């Protein structure tokens, strides 16, 4: 099977591009499972129910989220009933939704997907190490392939999680920074790993946000209204080829 993981989706016009390009890309490249991070889909902060519907209809199998998971209130009831959207598993237990799910890929495999937040330079989430450990124990024997989206700021924390779960989770990638890292690799015990997938969004600004507003924020330290950047939308992601239950090849893609 081939799994495509797409970086953080920024804004409505990126969803338009995903609707236009993803179905053909999936077919042409024989992709049987697509994961994407949707936490900036609603013009930067969070994802609305309608954004989720559009991404799922465009051929995304699983949407992961992150620190902005609860940025749009109309998503809360959807998180309670929609198995194909997950928020970080290490949020407090009373928050809406699920942190992991098992769904079937087009090629038949049962795929366990887990979303977790890092803690370095982020909120005081529960330990990503212990929380994911608990999920693996609970779900043991119920899946054929496992995928972990580590939504985190620090590359070192993502790498530490990659190494800790090496050989126990098949695919581990990071999201949140919106900058693609060039370190895709198969770790010593077989996990396909990349520190950050990058972004699906307009490349004309700063991380998908209008550059002038970000510069103003850094210069003045005053509250600043962020809007989605202009410029071409690019979809940044990574294809993990898993022909025999093991990741054999990893390729960064832009389309």
Q: Tokens at residue 218, please? A: 């850094």
Residues 6+ apart with CB under 8 A from 27: none
Let me know if 151 is a catalytic residue.
no
**Cβ nearer to Fe ion, comparing 15 with 41:** 41
Q: Segment near Fe ion (CB under 5 A), from 171-179, 198-206, 233-241, 243-251?
A: 171-179
> What CA–CA distance (Å, rounded) separates 165 from 148?
10
Identify the active-site residue in 29, 68, 176, 178. Answer: 68
Q: Which of residues 136-165 bind Fe ion (CB under 5 A)?
A: none
Smallest separation (angstroms) from Fe ion to the CB of 151: 6
Query: At how many degrees (to 10) do helices 155-164 and 128-139 cross?
Result: 30
DSSP for 86-136 reads: E--TTS-TTSSS-SEEEEE-TTS-EEEEEEEE--TTS--PPPHHHHHHHHH
Q: Segment near Fe ion (CB under 5 A), from 105-113, 118-126, 170-178, 227-235?
A: 170-178
**Cβ nearer to Fe ion, comparing 67 with 72:** 67
**Cβ nearer to Fe ion, comparing 145 with 207:** 207
Residues 6+ apart with CB under 8 A from 250: 184, 185, 186, 192, 194, 238, 239, 240, 241
List the beta bridge partners of residue 236: 254
> What CA–CA distance (Å, rounded) separates 238 from 180?
10
Using an 8 Å Cβ cutoff, are 193 and 55 in contact? no
**Cβ nearer to Fe ion, comparing 10 with 31:** 10
**Cβ nearer to Fe ion, comparing 59 with 66:** 66
Using an 8 Å Cβ cutoff, are 131 and 98 in contact? no
Q: Tokens at residue 121, please? A: 């330079």
Smallest separation (angstroms) from Fe ion to the CB of 214: 15
Smallest separation (angstroms) from Fe ion to the CB of 94: 21
Q: Segment near Fe ion (CB under 5 A), from 46-54, 55-63, 75-83, 169-177?
A: 169-177
DSSP for 57-97 reads: HTT-SEEE--TTTTSSGGGHHHHHH-TTEE--TTS-TTSSS
Number of residues that bind Fe ion (CB under 5 A): 3
Smallest separation (angstroms) from Fe ion to the CB of 67: 5
Q: Segment near Fe ion (CB under 5 A), from 54-62, 142-150, 175-183, 209-217?
A: 175-183
Smallest separation (angstroms) from Fe ion to the CB of 61: 21
Smallest separation (angstroms) from Fe ion to the CB of 249: 28
**Cβ nearer to Fe ion, comparing 32 with 194:** 194
User: Can residue 176 be called a binding residue for Fe ion (CB under 5 A)?
Assistant: yes
Q: Which of residues 50-69 bind Fe ion (CB under 5 A)?
A: 66-67
Q: Which residues are catalytic?
A: 68
Residues at the interface with Fe ion (CB under 5 A)? 66-67, 176
């Amino acid at each position: 099977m081939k799994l495509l993981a797409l970086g953080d989706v920024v804004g409505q016009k990126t969803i338009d591009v995903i609707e236009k390009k993803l179905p053909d890309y999936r077919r042409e490249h024989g992709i049987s499972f697509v994961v994407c991070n949707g936490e900036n889909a609603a013009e930067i902060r969070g994802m609305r129910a309608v954004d989720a519907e559009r991404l799922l209809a465009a051929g995304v199998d699983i949407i992961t989220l992150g620190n902005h998971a609860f940025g749009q209130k109309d998503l809360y009831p959807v998180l309670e009933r929609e198995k194909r959207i997950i928020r970080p598993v290490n949020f407090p237990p009373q928050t809406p939704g699920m942190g992991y799910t098992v769904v079937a890929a087009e090629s038949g495999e049962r795929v366990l997907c887990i979303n977790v937040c890092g803690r370095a330079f982020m909120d005081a989430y529960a330990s990503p190490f212990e929380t994911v450990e608990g999920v693996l124990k609970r779900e043991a024997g119920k899946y054929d392939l496992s995928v972990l989206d580590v939504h985190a700021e620090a590359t070192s924390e993502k790498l530490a999680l990659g190494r800790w779960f090496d050989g126990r989770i098949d695919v581990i990638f990071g999201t949140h920074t919106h900058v693609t890292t060039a370190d895709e690799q198969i770790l010593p015990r077989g996990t396909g790993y990349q520190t950050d997938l990058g972004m699906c969004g307009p490349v004309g600004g700063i991380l998908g946000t209008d550059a002038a507003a970000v510069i103003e924020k850094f210069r003045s330290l005053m509250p600043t209204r962020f809007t989605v950047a202009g410029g071409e939308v690019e979809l940044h992601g990574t294809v993990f080829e898993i022909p025999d239950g093991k990741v054999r090849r990893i390729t960064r893609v832009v389309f």
